[in-house]
Amino acid sequence: MPSIAENVAAVRARIEAAARGRRVLLVAASKMNDAARVREAVAAGVDACGENRVQELVEKNAAHAYDGAPLHFIGHLQKNKIKYLVGAADLIESVDSVELIELIDRRAEKLGLTQDILFEVNIGREGQKSGFLPEELPRALEFAAAAGHIRLRGLMAVPPASANPEDTRPYFAAMRELFIDIGAKKYDNTSMDFLSMGMSGDYEAAIEEGANMVRVGSAIFGARDYSRPAGR
């Protein structure tokens, strides 16, 4: 089996080919991989680590898994976990409700910091998926603009899963349109810097459609073993 470093190098090469000179950030989606494996990915030069579960993030952070790389939260966020995340995560990619915006802002104010966030968009309008529907974004943008302790840095999406990345392209393209439209409107506390989309199966298509941040798990770490407990 190739090493994590070899996988990172291979993913980087494919990112570069798809990006045609644009800069694309590689986020290692490290759920269910222990601190030692995450450290290998950081040593191999990923641009950030992305974690899905707050408890796993807290444990692996205490084990210095992410030292040397920014830390992103990319999972579904429950409001009672916000206190563990604000200030600990450099970027919370998965903000998907007005209530979360307000609670994150309040926590960040209490800590005296500004929290960078992305809005997650449910671009495939899937019932079981989190994320703002596109028509909910204007209201959310108003809330973000009025919040003094968050900075909205862009959008994130997990489009409907498909075996064929070509099926996902229209969703990526729709995200890019939202990203550009919002950027043109110049909301306060908002700069559309990051468009986070694309995973192991479709990151090249995502980049071709405008992603400048991809979240790659299994292509770096290998297939996840769901029979083992996470975070150790």
Ligand X SMILES: *Cc1c(COP(=O)(O)O)cnc(C)c1O
Segment contacting ligand X (CB under 6 A): 36-44, 95-103, 145-153, 217-225? 217-225
Task: Give the whole-angstrom CA distance, residue 145 versus residue 200.
Answer: 33
- CA 100, distance to chain mean position in Å, is 16
Based on the shown chain and the rule CB under 6 A, indicate whether residue 168 belongs to the binding site for ligand X: no
Cβ distance to ligand X smaller for residue 16 or 142: 16
∠ CA(188), CA(189), CA(192), 5° rounding?
Answer: 95
Task: Write the interaction track for ligand X spanning residues 75-114; mark x where CB under 6 A is met and - where it is not.
Answer: ----------------------------------------
Based on the shown chain and the rule CB under 6 A, indicate whether residue 52 belongs to the binding site for ligand X: yes
Binding test (CB under 6 A) with ligand X, winner from 11, 18, 29, 207: 29
Cβ distance to ligand X smaller for residue 134 or 201: 201
Q: Shortest approach of ligand X to residue 18 CB, angstroms?
A: 15
Based on the shown chain and the rule CB under 6 A, indicate whether residue 158 belongs to the binding site for ligand X: yes
Q: How is residue 131 written in tokens?
A: 């994320």
Q: Shortest approach of ligand X to residue 171 CB, angstroms?
A: 14
Q: Shortest approach of ligand X to residue 73 CB, angstroms?
A: 10
∠ CA(140), CA(144), CA(146), 5° rounding?
Answer: 120
Task: Write the interaction track for ligand X spanning residues 188-207; mark x where CB under 6 A is met and - where it is not.
Answer: -----------xxx------
Residues in the site for ligand X, rule: CB under 6 A?
29, 31, 52, 74, 158, 199-201, 215-219
